[in-house]
C-alpha cells in the first residue's frame, strides 16, 4: 500500500508538470512563439513578418484562448490563427502594418479586437466568420479592405470606417445580418462594390460626414443604396456650439462607438499639436474669414487606443476696435479694445509707441487676454506729460497680423479712478479628480495684493460608497492663488462624483472682491431628486413631448464631463435626447 501511495503521488506530480507545460518555437525569420498550455496564452516576440499558415505548420493547438503579439512584429501572416475557435482576445502592437488573408478566419469566440493605426491593409476573409464580434473600428491608416474581410460576422452591429480608407471591395460585410450602424468618416466616398453591404440588416443606417451626403448620393453603388434600399444620413464629427468665431473653433467631438462600449475619449487635439484632456476641443490662432477642411484631430481612449478624425469648419470676420484709454496715474494707463475673439485666444494685445517716435522705428507689443469681448491691459512706466499712441492687434498661428485703429494716451489726464474687474469662467478638462479653473482679474487704480480662486464642495454622490474617504468637507472653503490678468489653475486630488462651486477673488485695500460663482461636477455617479421640468422629456425620434412614467428618483452620472440621466431604464442627455 505504501508503494502504491508513492506511485500515485509521482503520477500526480507528473500530471502537474504537464498541465503547466510551456511550448515554444519559431514563426518567422526573427520571430518566436511561446504557449502557456495552462492559461492558453500565446505570445509572439521578435521582429519582422510572421510566416503564413502559422498555426497549422507549427502545431500550435487551435484551443488557444488569447494571443499577445509584442512590439516588433510587422505582419500577421495568411491563416495565422484561422479556426482558433476558443480565441477570445488578441493584442496587436503599433508595429503591425498588415493583417493578411484569413488571419482570424472563423475565430468564432473572438468578441472584440483593436486594430492599431499602423495597419494599412486588411486581407481577404481576414475576420470572416468571427460570429461573436459585435463592433469594429477600421482605424486611420487602413487604405483598403479586401473582399469578404468581415463577411458572416453575424453579431456585428456597429462599424466605423476611418477617412483613410479609399477602397472597400466585394462582399466585405456580406451576411452581417445584424449590422445596424455604419459610420464612414471620409468626405470623398470610398469606392465600393455592389455586394459590399449585401445581406445586412434592412434597418441599417450609413452615417456620412455633414456636407458630404450629396457626394455619396451621386457616387457609384452608393447612389443605388441611397435611392433603393439603404438609409444614408449625415452626422457631425464635431458639434460646434455658439456662433462661429473669427480666430478659434470650440466643439465637442462625437465618437459613438467608444461611448457606447464604455470606452471614452480621454484626450484630443490637433495632430502634431497640443493635446488636451477630455472630448472638448478648441483650436485657436486661426485665420479670420477662412475655410478649413480635414484638420486631423488625434483622439485617445481610456484603453490607450488612438485614432484620427478630420474636422472641417469656417471662421467669421474679425472685429477689433481700439477704444479710448483710461489714465490711472501719470505713469500708468489702462488700454481697452472690443473684439469678437474667443476668451481663449493667446496671441492678441496692444502695440504702442510714443507719438513723436519716427515711423520707421518698431513699436512695442504687450499681450493681453480677452474677457467677454473686452481686451484690457495696464501699461506702466510711461513718462509724465507725454503723448503715446496704441492699437489692438491679433497675430494668427501662421504669423499674419491684424490691427485695430490707432488711439492716443496722455498721462497728464488723470481725473478718474477705476474699479477692478473680475470674471469667472466655466471649468475645463473636468475628470474624476481634476479640473482646470479659468478667471480674469484686471486691477483698477490700485494693484491687487493677492488674487486667485475660492472653491468648495457643494454636494456629493450618495448612491454608492466612495472609493476613498472624501478629501473635502461639504461647504468648507479653500483658496488657490493665481497670477496675471488671465488666471488658470488646475485643481488635483478632488473627490469624484462631487459638485464643486468656485469663484475668482482679489484683495485690494484691505477688502476681498469676488467674481461670479460657477459650478462643475467631477466624474462619477450620484443619486439626486428628479427636477420637475424633466417630467416631460422630448424623444429624439418624435416631434412632440413624450410623457415618461413618473418616479421620485432618477440616476444621474457624469461621463467625460457630460451629464446623463437614467430613468426607468432609459438614458437621456441633460437636453432630453433619448439614448437607445
What's the 3-state SS for 77-108? CCCCCCCCCCCCEEECCCCCCEECCCCCCCCC
Give pLDDT tens digits for 129-171.
Answer: 999 998 888 887 899 999 999 999 999 998 989 888 999 999 9
pLDDT of 417 higher than 90: no
Question: Are the C-beta atoms of 404 and 389 separated by less than 8 Å?
Answer: no
C-alpha cell at 178: 445584424
CA-nearest of 385, 369, 387 to 377 is 369
Closest CA to 271 of 241, 301, 302, 295: 295
Reported pTM: 0.54
- Say if CB 370 and CB 397 are below 8 A apart: no
Tally of CB atoms within 10 A around 535: 13
**What does the DSSP 8-state code read for residue 428?**
B
Cα–Cα distance, 563 to 556 (Å, whole number): 7
The C-alpha cell at 392 is: 489692438
pLDDT tens digits along 501-539: 999 999 988 899 998 899 998 876 543 333 333 333 333
- Chain centre to alpha carbon of residue 25: 42
pLDDT value of residue 552: 37
Nearest to 157 by CA among 83, 250, 260, 16: 260
| Beta pairing, strands 48-49 & 73-76 | parallel
User: What does the pLDDT read at residue 104?
Assistant: 95
Banded pLDDT at 287 (limits 50, 70, 90): very high
Please tell me the distance from the alpha carbon of residue 314 to that of residue 144, in angstroms, as a whole number. Answer: 31
pLDDT reading at 17 higher than 80:
no
- The phi and psi torsions of 428 (rounded to 5 degrees) equal -125, 155
Reply yes or no on whether the pLDDT at 202 is more than 90.
Answer: no
Cα separation, 137 vs 307, in Å, equals: 9
Which residues pair with residue 310 across a beta bridge? Answer: 296
pLDDT digits (tens, 9 = 90+) for 433-481: 889 998 888 887 678 999 999 999 998 765 544 556 678 889 999 999 9
Which whole-number Å values give the CA distances from 361 to 190, 350, 365, 446, 539, in the listed order? 56, 16, 13, 33, 64
CA distance 35 to 78: 20
For residue 367, pLDDT over 90 is answered with: no
295 with 272: CB under 8 angstroms?
A: no
Which of 346-350, 362-366, 392-396 comes out lowest in average pLDDT? 362-366
* Cα 470 to Cα 497: distance, rounded to the nearest angstrom: 10
Q: Which of 334, 505, 338, 478 lies closest to 424, judged by CA? A: 505
DSSP label at residue 229: I
Q: Look up residue 382 and give its three cell numbers.
A: 510711461
Amino acid at each position: 500500500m505504501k508503494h502504491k501511495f508513492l506511485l500515485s503521488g509521482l503520477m500526480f506530480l507528473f500530471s502537474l508538470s504537464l498541465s503547466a507545460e510551456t511550448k515554444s518555437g519559431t514563426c518567422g525569420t526573427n520571430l518566436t512563439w511561446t504557449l502557456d498550455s495552462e492559461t492558453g496564452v500565446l505570445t509572439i516576440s521578435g521582429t519582422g513578418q510572421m510566416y503564413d499558415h502559422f498555426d497549422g505548420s507549427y502545431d500550435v493547438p487551435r484551443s488557444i484562448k488569447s494571443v499577445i503579439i509584442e512590439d516588433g512584429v510587422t505582419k500577421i501572416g495568411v491563416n495565422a490563427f484561422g479556426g482558433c475557435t476558443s480565441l477570445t482576445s488578441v493584442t496587436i502592437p503599433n508595429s503591425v502594418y498588415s493583417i493578411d488573408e484569413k488571419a482570424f478566419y472563423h475565430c468564432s469566440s473572438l468578441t472584440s479586437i483593436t486594430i492599431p493605426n499602423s495597419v494599412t491593409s486588411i486581407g481577404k476573409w481576414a475576420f470572416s466568420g468571427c460570429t461573436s464580434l459585435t463592433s469594429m473600428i477600421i482605424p486611420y491608416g487602413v487604405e483598403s479592405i479586401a473582399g469578404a474581410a468581415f463577411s458572416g460576422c453575424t453579431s456585428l452591429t456597429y462599424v466605423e470606417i476611418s477617412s483613410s480608407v479609399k477602397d472597400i471591395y466585394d462582399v466585405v460585410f456580406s451576411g452581417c445580418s445584424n449590422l445596424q450602424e455604419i459610420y464612414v468618416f471620409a468626405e470623398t466616398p470610398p469606392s465600393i462594390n455592389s455586394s459590399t453591404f449585401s445581406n445586412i440588416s434592412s434597418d441599417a443606417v450609413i452615417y456620412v460626414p455633414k456636407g458630404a451626403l450629396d457626394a455619396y448620393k451621386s457616387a457609384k453603388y452608393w447612389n443605388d443604396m441611397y435611392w433603393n434600399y439603404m438609409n444614408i444620413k449625415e452626422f457631425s464629427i464635431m458639434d460646434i456650439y455658439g456662433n462661429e468665431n473669427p480666430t478659434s473653433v470650440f466643439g465637442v467631438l462625437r465618437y459613438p462607438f467608444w461611448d457606447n462600449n464604455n470606452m471614452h475619449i480621454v484626450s484630443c487635439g490637433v495632430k502634431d499639436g497640443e493635446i488636451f484632456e477630455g472630448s472638448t476641443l478648441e483650436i485657436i490662432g486661426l485665420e479670420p474669414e477662412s475655410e478649413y477642411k480635414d484638420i486631423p484631430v488625434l483622439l485617445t481612449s481610456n484603453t490607450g487606443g488612438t485614432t484620427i478624425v478630420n474636422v472641417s469648419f469656417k471662421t467669421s470676420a474679425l472685429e477689433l476696435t481700439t477704444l479710448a484709454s483710461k489714465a490711472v496715474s501719470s505713469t500708468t494707463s489702462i488700454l481697452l479694445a472690443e473684439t469678437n475673439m474667443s476668451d481663449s485666444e493667446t496671441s492678441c494685445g496692444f502695440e504702442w509707441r510714443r507719438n513723436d517716435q519716427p515711423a520707421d522705428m518698431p513699436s512695442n507689443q504687450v499681450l493681453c487676454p480677452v474677457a467677454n469681448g473686452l481686451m484690457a491691459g495696464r501699461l506702466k512706466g510711461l513718462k509724465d506729460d507725454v503723448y503715446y499712441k496704441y492699437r489692438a492687434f491679433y497675430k494668427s498661428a501662421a504669423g499674419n497680423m491684424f490691427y485695430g485703429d490707432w488711439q492716443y494716451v496722455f498721462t497728464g489726464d488723470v481725473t478718474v479712478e477705476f474699479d477692478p474687474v473680475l470674471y469667472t469662467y466655466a471649468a475645463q478638462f473636468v475628470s474624476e479628480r481634476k479640473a482646470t479653473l479659468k478667471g480674469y482679474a484686471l486691477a483698477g487704480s490700485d494693484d491687487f495684493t493677492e488674487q486667485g480662486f475660492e472653491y468648495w464642495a457643494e454636494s456629493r454622490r450618495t448612491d454608492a460608497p466612495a472609493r476613498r474617504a472624501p478629501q473635502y468637507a461639504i461647504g468648507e472653503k479653500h483658496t488657490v492663488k493665481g497670477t496675471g490678468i488671465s488666471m488658470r489653475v488646475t485643481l488635483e486630488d478632488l473627490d469624484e462624483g462631487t459638485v464643486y462651486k468656485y469663484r475668482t477673488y482679489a484683495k485690494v485695500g484691505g477688502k476681498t472682491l469676488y467674481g461670479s460663482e460657477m459650478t462643475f461636477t467631477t466624474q462619477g455617479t450620484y443619486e439626486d431628486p428628479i427636477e420637475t421640468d424633466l417630467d416631460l422629456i422630448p424623444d429624439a425620434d418624435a416631434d412632440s413631448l413624450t410623457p415618461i412614467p413618473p418616479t421620485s428618483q432618477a440616476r444621474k452620472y457624469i461621463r467625460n464631463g457630460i451629464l446623463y440621466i437614467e430613468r426607468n431604464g432609459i438614458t437621456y442627455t441633460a437636453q432630453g435626447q433619448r439614448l437607445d
